[in-house]
Amino acid sequence: MKQLTAAQISHMRYAGRVLAETFTHIRQNLHAGMTTREVDKMAEDFIVAHNCYPCFKGVYDYAYACNTSVNEEIIHGIPTDKVLNEGDIITVDCGAGFNGICTDACRTFAVGKISAEAQELINVTRNCFYRALEKIKPNVEVAIVGKTIENYIKSLGNYSILEDYCGHGIGKNLHEDPLIPNYIVRNSGLLQHVRKKFQPNTAVCVEPMIFHGKSNAVKVAPDGWTVISTRGELSAHYENTILITPQGTEVLTNSDEKNS
């Protein structure tokens, strides 16, 4: 984990506030009939209008400001002419940068009136984040995140965790060490990451990715990006950029309403 200077923390706080407000803006304007490309443009226009830049653009040659993943698409959906319908859920994963410092966050939104099942999935995924957040503090091992999320999901019975992708550190780069799995690591190759300890004046992104149903099998779409449930299970994703402070944590990208 790379320590941030006081100036870099200030830049990250500003970018984080803009990104949080971007999600509020999306929530207030999202409606059936929009395309995912229009959602992406709405986010980018808002970020740029507030003197930040979309820091997903150009990373791994990605061409858009956001990932827009609909229903069974859990992550990395590419904005297209796909039209959103009443009852869909859409996950918008986005980053805002300011003065060379990145932030990253994600929300799953309802398109109009959604099923009780879909709303509960959104709530459960959000709860995963906040249960893990309660455990994060300086000198606690990264492993606490995955342990907390997995134990919570197992207690519910009808949900599963995407294990192919993880949270991460963040700062000058969108993705930095360490990887932060959302499950209990049993693969020795990841132990080096989860044994690391959170340090003051560093930032991380915790991002549970959850399926409704007990199958977490996925495939990558022909576009080479979009990750999809092989069984067509509804999926949700929730993420914030977290500053580790000497006293505990500060969520830099959080202005969302509960159970939104």
- pLDDT of 210: 98
pLDDT band of residue 201 (cuts 50, 70, 90) is very high
- For 147-186, write each residue's pLDDT tens digit: 999 999 999 999 999 999 999 999 999 999 999 999 999 8
Distance from first CA to last CA of the chain, Å, rounded?
31
Give the integer Cα–Cα distance in Å for 98 and 87: 35
- Is the N-terminal amide bond of 54 cis, ω within 30° of 0? no
Domain positions in the chain are 6-247
Give the three-class secondary structure for 149. Answer: helix
- For 31-75, write each residue's pLDDT tens digit: 999 999 999 999 999 999 999 999 999 999 999 999 999 999 999
Provide the percentage of residues in the chain whose pLDDT is more than 70.
98
Provide the percentage of residues in the chain whose pLDDT is more than 90.
93
Distances 27 to 11, 159, 209, 217 between C-alpha atoms, Å? 25, 25, 20, 29
Mean pLDDT computed over 223-245: 97
- pLDDT of 149: 98
Distances 254 to 24, 64, 143, 163, 250 between C-alpha atoms, Å? 10, 22, 23, 25, 9
What pTM did the predictor assign?
A: 0.96
- pLDDT of 255: 67
- pLDDT of 256: 58
For residue 121, which amino acid is it?
Answer: L
- pLDDT of 259: 34
- For 88-144, write each residue's pLDDT tens digit: 999 999 999 999 999 999 999 999 999 999 999 999 999 999 999 999 999 999 999
29 has pLDDT over 50: yes
Output DSSP code: residue 150. Answer: H
Q: Which residues contact 125 (CB under 8 A, 6 or more apart)?
A: 108, 208, 209, 210, 236, 237, 238
Structural contact between residues 61 and 40, judged by C-beta atoms closer than 8 angstroms: no
Give CATH for domain 6-247: 3.90.230.10
State residue 128 phi and psi, 5-degree precision: -55, -45
Output DSSP code: residue 185. Answer: -
248 has pLDDT over 80: yes
